[in-house]
């Protein structure tokens, strides 16, 4: 049997092809040109692959014996090529670690020039992320092992766009028990996070107007617009979204709210406004989209139940593991009114077919074993301590709002631009309330959105110290 690779002849004995191709340890695609000889052609092909970046620094190459067998040349030829490129500085060879691609100086310079990166802040008190250092790696690994050990073979095939039934069943029990959500498994759709859920709903609504809280997260407004919807501001005051006030929002086809802990003001939606929202949905045939992004983290009283429990036929409940476990998992869920399930599942099918299955099975195991509950309770205690440290550092001089729940606080300041500039000079990143208004204006309230979930445990005290110093300097200024 004969194979040709750009002038290199590969000769195999009868019946040996399967054995040969199955035993090669490291795959390496090369196209050596043997016009000038086998060694010269292989040498040039390897050198070009390193120069072009197709073989990145640190890449391990096959052993000389394997590469020789792969290309149908002698081992002496491949060894001579490796030795030559080691001498030229393209490769490195160490006893016990094999031959690897070296860091070529010109590559390092090109990488630095071609991929500019913003400098990360030394200390980070921006909102939006949990303490990812607290990810329950041991519990997740146990759940993953059990899930893989018991998963049927079909779990590795294409799946239901609604998600694995194991996770939908586990979430049905958990959401009903912990958040008061009416969530039969057949009405749950698993997503890769809140953003995908919001995008899918916007598409299903076919480009209608969507009322969104003002202030609110600007990226979520961008998601709605990117998926064909238009955005109408829904004002927020000390009682939450002003759903009991007349306004342009009432003509929208959907309303997106954060009832348990409004983002970024931190207020809880007043019971009267909850009723007003559900009454609006029933009367207009509209949809309320409930973003329950951190509903598990309530510190000074019992958690506020989900709005969905008041009108399950008119509220789409969206939750995620991003704040409880970590954003990297890309696992979220929607509990939908019955009339939207098929349409959303079809939109999901044509978006990414389905969310990856193995992570779903692991999360189902974590929920069913109550390890998820234990982790949330531990996080709740940790974040409450952090919130208390923040309040102690602010003292009576600075007013912090939205502190009964969640992973951030809104700190009132007279001039947020000046405070943020001082913080940046100290290497501290904080959020600005001004970034969250639908329309910027000088008459808007000023504030810092301070996230106490993001920093690692060891960095948090220093971050608070710098924040206190920056606020003190702003006060004197």
**For residues 211 and 254, is the Cβ–Cβ distance under 8 A?**
yes
Per-residue DSSP letter, 370 = T
Band (pLDDT 50/70/90 cuts) for residue 25 is low
Q: 3-state DSSP call for residue 421?
A: helix
pLDDT band at residue 7 using 50, 70 and 90 as cut-offs: very low
CATH of domain 123-130+374-476: 3.90.1150.10
**Can you give the pLDDT at residue 28?**
83
Distance CA 183, CA 255 (A): 20
The pLDDT of residue 109: 38
Q: Note the pLDDT of residue 361.
A: 97
DSSP state of 274: H
pLDDT score for 121: 85
Beta carbons within 8 Å of 286's beta carbon, 6+ residues apart: 252, 253, 254, 255, 280, 314
Return the pLDDT at 166: 97
pLDDT in tens, 53-85: 888 898 999 988 888 888 888 999 999 999 898
User: Given this model, what pLDDT does residue 183 score?
Assistant: 97
Q: Could you give the angle at which helices 194-204 and 341-352 cross, rounded to 10 degrees?
A: 120
pLDDT of residue 206: 87
The answer to whether 256 and 286 have CB atoms below 8 angstroms apart is no
pLDDT of 125 over the 80 cut: yes
Look at residue 311 and give its three-state secondary structure.
coil
Q: Is the per-residue pLDDT at 224 higher than 50?
A: yes
Give pLDDT tens digits for 168-192: 999 999 999 999 999 999 999 999 9
Asked if pLDDT for residue 2 goes beyond 80, the answer is no
Q: Are strands 332-335 and 188-191 parallel, antiparallel or unpaired?
A: antiparallel
Least confident residue range of 105-119, 142-156, 164-178, 388-402: 105-119
**CA 438, CA 255: separation in Å to the nearest integer?**
15
| Residues linked to residue 60 through DSSP beta bridges, in sequence order | 100
pLDDT at 23 over 60: no
97-134 burial code (b ≥16 CB/10 A, e <16): eebbbbebeebeeeeeeeeeeeeebebbbbbbbbbeeb
Residue ranges matching CATH 3.90.1150.10 in the chain: 123-130+374-476
Measured between alpha carbons, how far is 269 from 439 in angstroms, rounded to an integer? Answer: 22
- DSSP assignments along 145-194, one per residue: HHHHHH--GGGGS---TT--HHHHHHHHHHHHHHH-----GGGEEEESSH
Mention the CATH class of domain 2-114. Answer: mainly alpha
What local confidence, expressed as pLDDT, does residue 29 receive? 83
CA distance 380 to 388: 12
Which of 211, 248, 245 lies closest to 230 in space, CA to CA?
211
Least confident of 2-11, 143-152, 320-329, 446-455: 2-11
Residue 104's pLDDT is: 65
Which residue has better confidence, 207 or 93?
93
pLDDT category of residue 118 using cuts at 50, 70 and 90: low
C-alpha span between 97 and 228 (Å, rounded): 53
Q: Which of 116-130, 170-184, 373-387 has the lowest mean pLDDT?
A: 116-130
* For residue 386, pLDDT beyond 70: yes
Least confident of 88-92, 409-413, 422-426: 88-92
Mean pLDDT of 145-163: 95
Q: pLDDT for 289-299, tens place per residue?
A: 999 998 899 99
pLDDT at 12 over 50: no
Q: Give span(s): CATH 3.40.640.10, the chain.
A: 135-372
User: What's the pLDDT score for residue 9?
Assistant: 41
All CATH 1.10.10.10 domain ranges in the chain, comma separated: 2-114
What band does 8 get if pLDDT is binned at 50, 70 and 90?
very low
C-alpha span between 341 and 346 (Å, rounded): 9
- Give the residue from 28, 316, 376, 20 showing the smallest Cα distance to 182: 316
Contact 463, 124 (CB under 8 A): yes
pLDDT over 70, % of the chain: 91
CATH of range 135-372; options 3.40.190.10, 3.30.360.10, 3.40.640.10, 3.40.120.10 = 3.40.640.10
Per-residue pLDDT, 444: 87
């Amino acid at each position: 049997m004969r194979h040709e690779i750009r002038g290199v002849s590969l000769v195999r004995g009868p019946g040996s092809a399967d054995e040969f191709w199955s035993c090669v340890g490291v795959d390496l695609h090369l196209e050596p040109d043997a016009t000038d000889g086998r060694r010269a052609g292989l040498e040039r092909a390897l050198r070009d692959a390193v120069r072009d970046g197709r073989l990145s620094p640190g890449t391990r190459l096959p052993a000389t014996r394997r590469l020789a067998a792969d290309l149908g040349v002698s081992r002496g030829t491949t060894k001579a090529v490796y030795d030559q490129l080691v001498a030229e500085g393209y490769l490195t060879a160490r006893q016990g670690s094999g031959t690897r691609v070296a860091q070529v100086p010109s590559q390092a310079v090109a990488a630095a020039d071609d991929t500019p990166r913003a400098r990360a802040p030394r200390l980070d008190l921006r909102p939006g992320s949990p303490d990812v250092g607290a990810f329950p790696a041991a519990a997740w690994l146990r759940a993953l092992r059990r899930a893989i050990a018991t998963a049927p073979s079909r779990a590795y095939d294409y799946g239901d766009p609604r998600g694995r039934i194991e996770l939908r069943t586990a979430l049905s029990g958990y959401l009903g028990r912990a958040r008061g959500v009416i969530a039969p498994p057949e009405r749950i759709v698993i997503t890769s996070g809140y953003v995908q859920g919001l995008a899918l709903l916007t598409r299903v609504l076919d480009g209608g107007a969507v009322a969104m809280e003002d202030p609110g997260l600007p990226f979520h407004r961008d998601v709605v617009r990117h998926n064909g919807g238009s955005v109408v501001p829904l004002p927020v005051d000390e009682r939450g979204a002003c759903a009991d006030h007349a306004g342009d929002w009432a003509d929208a086809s959907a309303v997106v709210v954060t009832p348990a802990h409004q983002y970024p003001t931190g207020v809880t939606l007043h019971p009267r406004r909850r009723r007003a929202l559900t009454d609006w949905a029933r009367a207009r045939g509209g949809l309320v989209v409930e973003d329950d992004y951190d509903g598990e983290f309530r510190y000074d009283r019992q958690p506020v139940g989900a709005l969905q429990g008041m009108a399950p036929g008119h509220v789409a409940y969206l939750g995620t593991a991003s704040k409880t476990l970590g954003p990297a998992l890309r696992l979220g869920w929607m509990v939908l009114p019955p009339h939207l399930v098929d349409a959303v599942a079809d939109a999901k099918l044509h978006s990414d077919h389905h969310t990856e299955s193995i992570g779903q099975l692991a999360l189902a195991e974590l929920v069913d074993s109550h390890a998820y509950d234990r982790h949330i309770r531990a996080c709740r205690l940790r974040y409450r301590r952090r919130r208390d440290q923040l309040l102690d550092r602010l003292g009576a001089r600075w007013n912090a709002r939205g502190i009964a729940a969640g992973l951030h606080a809104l700190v009132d300041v007279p001039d947020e631009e000046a405070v943020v500039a001082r913080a940046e000079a100290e290497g501290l990143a904080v959020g600005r309330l001004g970034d969250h208004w639908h329309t910027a204006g000088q008459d808007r309230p000023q504030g810092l959105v301070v996230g106490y979930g993001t920093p690692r445990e060891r960095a948090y005290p220093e971050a608070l110290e710098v924040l206190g110093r920056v606020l003190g300097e702003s006060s004197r200024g």
